[in-house]
Amino acid sequence: MTARTQGRVIAAHGRHYTVELPDGALIKCFPRGKKNDATVGDYVELTMQGADEAALEKVLERKNLLFRSDENRSKQFAANVDQLMIIIAVAPNFSDDLLGRTLAGSWSADITPVIVLNKVDLLEGLEAARARLAPFYQLGVQIIEICARDPQQVEQLILPLLRDKTTLLLGQSAMGKSTLLNTLVPLALAATREHSVALGAGKHTTTSTRLYHLPDAGGDLIDSPGFQGFGLLHLTREDIERGFPEFGPYLAECRFYNCTHQHEPNCGVLAALGRHEINAARHALYVRLVEAKAAHDSYS
Ligand SMILES: Nc1nc2c(ncn2[C@@H]2O[C@H](COP(=O)(O)OP(=O)(O)OP(=O)(O)O)[C@@H](O)[C@H]2O)c(=O)[nH]1
Ligand SMILES: [Mg+2]
Ligand SMILES: [Zn+2]
């Protein structure tokens, strides 16, 4: 019997994976049998078949898995992530709804999110973008303003956060994820493109998720294709609640232990909402997520 080797998935390409061995060798890896649920960031067990190919035998236990699930599809973003960097930009416009969902997905998976506001050189839209971020400042989320093309800024403001961690870059198309990657890892040579050049909705410049090593810092960065939806149908109502940490201090004031904070009497969250201590748009997002989940469950 061939000895088993361990490695980490650095890229997934439909039917096969690229796995990196501890010595840095890159192995083309096919899943054994039909099961094909490894994702970028996974630690896996392989049996070598020749010098640079192997069978993927087993996905080792995950620390976490960031996931999205919409009505007709679900997608694993990445596994074993220490930190999520949500990239938004002064232009094109970012979606508050998607930003809120991404944060909720991150917190409910126990991954610390950081928001990066990119393209701050586009001064015209800067104040408006900052104003839209006000609720997220209030939540205490770390928000970093950068120009991803500027190596000095990136080195000072972003690099210190990345050391010895696996960081996932996530966000809508054209926000500058791959631009930031290229500034940090020049050898990545990732393609970047003006949004106006992209051929309408559904076109992303980056087409697959991939993990890169930072050249000097020790730490990994995962670049991913932009998304247009972030369904959270796989989360239970309790998981969704964990995606809204600002509810936390008020939960003890709810009369019912299984309060859903939507219509119940003596609800601490609704009371705080009434006093404007909880942001109305955030509570509305929570209700949308819980209602989508309930509708999905009752039809499946
Ligand atoms: N003005 C300005 N433009 C930037 C900045 N960072 C990135 N861009 C531009 O924004 C466009 C989109 O950048 P990408 O890095 O391709 O965006 P992305 O998030 O990787 O997009 P997808 O791969 O489609 O998800 C490119 O034309 C970049 O040159 C910045 O700091 N300022
Ligand atoms: Mg990209
Ligand atoms: Zn309540």
* Domains of the chain listed by start with CATH number: 4-59 (2.40.50.140), 65-223 (3.40.50.300), 237-299 (1.10.40.50)
Residue 191 alpha carbon to ligand 2 centre in Å: 7
**Rounded Cα gap, residues 61 and 101, in angstroms:** 26
Taking CA atoms only, the protein residue closest to ligand 1 atom 5 is 119
pLDDT tens over the chain, length 300 residues: 567 899 999 999 878 999 999 999 999 999 987 666 899 999 999 999 988 899 999 999 999 999 899 888 888 999 999 999 999 999 999 999 999 999 999 999 989 999 999 999 999 999 999 999 999 999 999 999 999 999 999 999 999 999 999 999 999 999 999 999 999 998 888 888 776 555 454 567 888 899 999 998 789 999 999 988 899 999 999 999 999 999 999 999 999 999 999 999 999 999 999 999 999 999 999 999 999 999 998 877
What is the pLDDT, as a whole number, of residue 195? 64
Residue 292 alpha carbon to ligand 2 centre in Å: 29
- Pull the structure tokens for residue 281: 């748009």
Residue type at 264 in one-letter notation: E
**Rounded Cα gap, residues 290 and 282, in angstroms:** 13
Pocket test for ligand 1, best of 95, 122, 179 (most atoms within 8 A of CB): 179
**Rounded Cα gap, residues 24 and 7, in angstroms:** 9
Residue 174 alpha carbon to ligand 2 centre in Å: 7
Pocket test for ligand 1, best of 88, 116, 126, 192 (most atoms within 8 A of CB): 192
DSSP character string of 50-70: SSSEEEEEEEPPPS-EEEEE-
Residue 104 alpha carbon to ligand 3 centre in Å: 18
Residue 254 alpha carbon to ligand 3 centre in Å: 5
- Pull the structure tokens for residue 276: 């404007």
**Rounded Cα gap, residues 162 and 183, in angstroms:** 13
Q: Based on C-alpha coordinates, what's the Rg of the chain?
A: 21
Which residues line ligand 1 at a C-beta cut-off of 6 Å?
A: 118-119, 121-122, 147-149, 171, 173-179, 192-194, 204-206, 225-226
Pocket test for ligand 1, best of 152, 205, 207, 223 (most atoms within 8 A of CB): 205
- DSSP code for 39: -
**Rounded Cα gap, residues 262 and 264, in angstroms:** 6
- Pull the structure tokens for residue 3: 């000895």
Burial of 202 (0-12, 13-18, 19+ CB in 10 A): exposed
